[in-house]
Structure 1
Amino acid sequence: MPMLDKKIAIVTGASSGLGRAIALRYAEEGATVVVADIIEDPIEGGETTLSRILARGSSGAFIKTDISRWSEVDALITAAVDEFGRLDVMVNNAAIYTSTNLIETTAEQWHRVLSVNVTGYFHGCKRAVQQFLTQDPVGDTRGRIINISSQHGMVACPGDFPYGVSKGAIVQMTRQIAVDHAKDGIICNAVAPGKIITGKPGVANDPDALDYSRRRTPWPRLGEPRDVASAAAFLASDMATYMTGVNLMVDGGWMAG
């Protein structure tokens, strides 16, 4: 039986990158997947995430969502539950960055990054918990939240002050929700990717940065979206038992070195 058979999942930022990989893996594992993003076309090009989900015979939907707006997250989860009956897994993945240090970061950049990377995750977590509390448990679990954090929530993110601070906040948010809502049968974990090669443009694929990451990572290759998707699939499944408040590193041993 697939790992996520008959589960209903929402993945934010799922049109491209890590979110896309997670959504596609969930569909492969039997989940119905709601793709939430501000645009539907993938940065990498090619078919949309939903098109690929439907082409393989899985179920899903696309709902345009700006997670920095409570009204849109509220509408997202309401629409998903109206169409598919419940919510089992909420993946908060959508995020932005500025590539600016403290002095270079403007107030506008600061507020924008935190509005998506922290407030947006707050919106997703809060609205998901509200929904989970209305549902009967399946086994001992009402629902699962998976927040995509980063190794830069654990160590500094050189040259990107707002992003690093936001990812540190997500790690603490995950712990807080896990502790506060364990009694409700609600699970909250995070996945912390290391250096993952995606189609993201700009500094993420700068040759010097990639060379440093290869030298810094003990595993003999850099990460791929499928690595993060596998961790997210495990945490969404019934195999992940007695685990909550975990920040699961997917970094090729970077943080162990």
Structure 2
Amino acid sequence: MRLTGRLTGKTAIVTGASSGIGRAISLLFAQEGATIIAADVTTNVVEGGTPVLEELNKVTDKAIFVKADISKGSDVQSLFDDVAGRYGRVDILVNNAVIRGGSSLVDTDEAEWERVTDVNLKGAYLCLRAAVRQMLTQEIIGEARGRIVNITSQHGMIAAPGDFAYGVSKAGMVYMTKQVASDYGHESIICNAVAPGKILTGKGGRAVDPDMLAYSESRTPLPRLGKPIDVARAALFLASDEATYLTGHNLMVDGGWMAR
């Protein structure tokens, strides 16, 4: 992919930036010229490797890491206040932070429900609210006061087998994308989403169970499963000024899964 500086001069907050998809988005956005605020509850890398800030520093001198638990309103507000104070505006929010559950409805206890939805749903809402509040104070540049990219999932539209809380939370993010786009489009705040299919992030466990992989391969028309960079490239388009007259959209990056 040829780099073109599509995000030069933009300030971007990426949540869940330490690992997987969030890490890939942070690095690609940095390569495209953005100032990156990599936010996560930990610097540990799920798939292994060096902390994301070390990798960002290899490609830019315009990146910081902020430790934040997005399930806590105080952490979210401090994050956005700090970024607005340092840089004057928040041009881009990538709402990516996520955790999985792993239980069917009857096996989902309240603790699991709260753990998953506190991050995936409540955390997304808190970040959306803080982002929109800040963006409403900003002048329009190009066609936008700011752009939001939610990382949803194909499982926001179809069942997530054996992962009830996760599927519900992602369906909620799909809805929030449309609601924010509808409510704030007239204010030139752009809100879209990327819905990944099966993405191999490098983490272990249930995600790479042989039976799960075989099922995903059988459901995906393209001859490979997804990689974090596939999602990052879609997020880049939606975060850039190239995405014109486009809001409230949930862009599938699934190798054709939902077409089958």
- Give the structure-2-normalised TM-score: 0.97
* Alignment pair present for 1:60 and 2:63: yes
Candidates 230, 251, 256, aligned match of 1:253 = 256
Residue 190 of structure 1 is matched in structure 2 by 193
How far off is 1:256 after superposition?
0.5
- Give the counterpart of 1:152 among 150, 155, 171: 155
Of residues 33, 37, 47, the one that matches 2:36 is: 33
Q: Aligned-pair distance for 1:139?
A: 1.8
Q: CA deviation at 1:61?
A: 0.6
- In structure 2, the partner of 1:203 is 206
- Name the residue aligned to 2:239: 236
Matching of residues 94-113 of structure 1 within 5 Å: 94-113=97-116
Identity of counterpart residues, as a percentage? Answer: 54
Aligned residues between the structures: 257
Specify the code of the residue in structure 2 equivalent to 1:190.
A
Contact 1:146 1:191 in 2 (8 A): yes
C-alpha separation between the residues in 1 aligned to 2:61 and 2:157?
A: 36
Residue of structure 2 in register with 1:125 after alignment: 128
- Write the distance in 2 (CA, Å) between the matches of 1:132 and 1:231: 22
Give distance in 2, aligned partners of 1:99 and 1:136. Answer: 43
Query: 2:221 and 2:189 mapped to 1: Cα distance?
Result: 35
Query: Quick check: 1:9–1:33 contact (8 Å CA) kept in 2?
Result: yes
Task: Provide Cα deviations, 1:153-181, integer angstroms capped at 9, x if missing partner.
Answer: 01000000000011001000000000000
SS in 2 for 1:115: helix
Secondary structure class of the residue paired with 2:211: helix
Letter in 1 for 2:85: D
Alignment partners' CA distance in 2, 1:57 and 1:157: 38
For 1:116, give the aligned amino acid.
V
Structure 2 residue identity aligned to 1:100: S
Which structure 2 segments of 5+ residues have no match? none
Report 1:43-54 matches (<5 A).
43-54=46-57
After superposition, what is the alpha-carbon deviation per residue over 1:103-127, rounded to whole angstroms, capped at 9, x for unaligned? 1100111111111111100000000
1:140 and 2:128 aligned? no
CA deviation after TM superposition for structure 1 residue 74, in Å = 0.4
Would you say 1:13 and 2:20 are equivalent positions? no
The answer to whether residue 184 in structure 2 is matched with residue 171 in structure 1 is no
Distance 2:204 2:126 in 1: 27
Contact 1:21 1:229 in 2 (8 A): yes
Q: What is the CA deviation profile of residues 44-89 of structure 1, one whole-angstrom value per residue up to 9, with x for unaligned ones?
A: 2222111111122341111101110011000011111222221100
User: Out of 67, 87, 99, which is 1:84 matched to?
Assistant: 87
Unaligned runs of 5+ in 1: none
Aligned-residue RMSD, C-alpha: 0.9
Q: In structure 1, what is the Cα distance between the partners aligned to 2:83 and 2:48?
A: 26
Point out the more displaced range, 43-52 or 144-153: 43-52
Tell me the TM-score normalized by structure 1: 0.98
Contact 2:30–2:60 (Cα < 8 Å) also in 1: no
Looking at structure 1, the residues matched to 76 and 38 of structure 2 have their Cα atoms a distance apart, in angstroms, of: 12
Q: Secondary structure at the match of 2:194?
A: strand
For residue 207 of structure 1, report the CA deviation from its aligned partner.
Answer: 1.1
Q: 4+ runs of 1 displaced by more than 3 Å? A: none
SS at match of 1:118: helix
Aligned match of 2:230 = 227
Supply the distance in 1 between the matched residues of 2:236 and 2:130 (Cα, whole angstroms): 21
**Contact conserved, 2:31 with 2:60, CA < 8 A, in 1?**
no
